[in-house]
Amino acid sequence: MGSSSTPQPAIASSSAAPPPPPPVVASAPSSSQHLGLLKGRAAKGAQPNRPLGKPLPVAESAGTSKPPVFARANLARAKFWAKDSPIYAKIMTALNEPRIEASFAATLEVNLGNIRKNYRKGADKLGAHVEAAAVIKADAYGLGATTVAKALMQEGCRTFFVARTTEAIKLRSELRDEDHPLADTVKIHVLDGLLAHVEPRVLVEYDISPVLNSPAQAKRWSDHAANSPTGKLPCILQFDTGMNRAGMTEAEAETMIAQLSGTAGPDAAGSLEQERYAGLEVTHIMTHLAKAGEAAPRPGEGNDATRQAGETSQAQLARFETLCQHFPQAKHSIGASSTVFLEPAFHKDMVRMGGTFHGQAPFEADTNPLLPTITLVTSLSKIHQLKAGEGTGYGLRFTAHQDMPVATIPLGYADGLPRRAHGNAPADAGQPEAFVLVEGRYRAPFVGATSMDMSTIDLSAVPKAFHHEGARVTVIGPHEASGQGITPDHFGDSEGTNASELQTKITSRVRKTYTDQA
């Protein structure tokens, strides 16, 4: 190449290279975006078709003997991200440096050992004749679907549910990429079923079984089964028994049952309606309980004792059992996590556990029989001395009634904290107080509205020895003295949400670490 102030990459070719195209001007991603992109790609290996914040160059004009520019760019990126590339090794080394890891403002510590113990506890409650499936949708509630799935496989889990087709593909692909011995044997079901824009062949390619929620989904899946060697494809049928959210309605169920049994009579073309769903291999039928958490404890029994389901759940059970009579060859599943702790009539052939192995309370937050699985920690970043009458945060929604120390922590709604607008003001009486633990012991309530990148806490009850930048702050985790601390359920209650929403919204700005001591 000729001399230039901007060196151009050499492109191998049998002929002289044409002049390089003018540089593409694009806004560069921020350093945090670069770090996230680099780390994600480094963890996955080569992903050559996604440039770092820049569009691919426009293809060269027709007639050239060289590959198009975008093809050469893809080849260059493939070499760049190859795991034996010295550049890849340098990136991995940099990203794993303690000084880089320590740059995160907050850390989510995930206890895989407790996840495994909670799964075992749930499976033991169900008994050997009931399958304990695992729901790992939303990236296993934000903790990493493949990582959690592999931990649960060690405990014997062989059936997984996700919500989206893309989640199912990602799980199967990552297990295959890692050459996991169970990569092609575990069952993966997608709760969305077969959405209108999803091609059935994609599910077949990745050995994914849909939970069919409507007659239209069932018809499309059955039609596609004609392309399979056996003429049938496995699926789960979901029926709505009272939640009015997903699954076939009572009227749709009646029609489908008649068509499956061949009692609906000839259609306009003269063939039996039974042929409409001839391609379905119904492995399970399922429904979902609307109020599984409403169950009264028996007096004098422990937190992990079996409970009596409430009236709504009992009514749903009765409707579901009527449906089960029409599918004697299929397995039946009525419940999810709280169902583990209901009477055996609700267990059926399979329970779809999710919150159970995450340690979420099946009923009341204070009666949780499960082990905690996450700890969210950060540190004090700035100390302020408020004078009486001064406010803090956007809108100054909290006003100090006396001189008081407050501190900011580098954790806001962009990191996953709920956006609090009320600020623990006196007008919010009746709502549980949201707080953190400074140095794992000292209660410090949130004050003021939550910002995108930070929150403010009251240090009045914290010894002055810990009024300094860098003091450890536990947002979710145990109290170092009592062990009780702040669970996701307690924190969710104080913020007007629940443990699942709180956990799934923790973003990539928070570093995740894993321990596994079961």
The rounded distance, in Å, linking the Cα atoms of 17 and 166 is 41
DSSP state of 61: P
Residues in a beta bridge with 307: 342
Continuous H helices in 144-205: 145-153, 165-177, 200-205
- Is 452 annotated in a binding site? The answer is yes
Residues in a beta bridge with 331: 284
- What torsion do the CA atoms of 14, 20, 24, 28 make, to the nearest 10 degrees? 80
- Is 243 annotated in a binding site? The answer is no
- Collapsed DSSP state (helix, strand, coil) of residue 161: strand
- 363 vs 304, 307, 359, 407, CA distance in Å? 10, 10, 12, 34
The distance between the two most distant Cα atoms of the chain, rounded to a whole number of Å, is: 87
Structure-block tokens of residue 292: 């599984």
Distance linking the first and last C-alpha atoms of the chain: 59
Backbone angles phi, psi at 247, to 5 degrees: 100, 165
Instruction: Give the residue numbers annotated as catalytic, written as ranges.
Output: 137, 394
Structure-block tokens of residue 31: 């350093």
The rounded distance, in Å, linking the Cα atoms of 162 and 115 is 18
The rounded distance, in Å, linking the Cα atoms of 402 and 430 is 22
The rounded distance, in Å, linking the Cα atoms of 510 and 499 is 17
- 450 vs 52, 417, 461, CA distance in Å? 31, 8, 21
Helix H or strand E segment including 135: strand 131-135
User: Do 293 and 363 touch, CB atoms closer than 8 A?
Assistant: yes
The rounded distance, in Å, linking the Cα atoms of 281 and 417 is 44
The rounded distance, in Å, linking the Cα atoms of 99 and 116 is 31
User: Do 435 and 445 touch, CB atoms closer than 8 A?
Assistant: yes
- What torsion do the CA atoms of 352, 316, 489, 363 make, to the nearest 10 degrees? -100
User: Do 450 and 418 touch, CB atoms closer than 8 A?
Assistant: yes
Residues in binding site? 245, 452
Residues in binding site for substrate? 245, 452
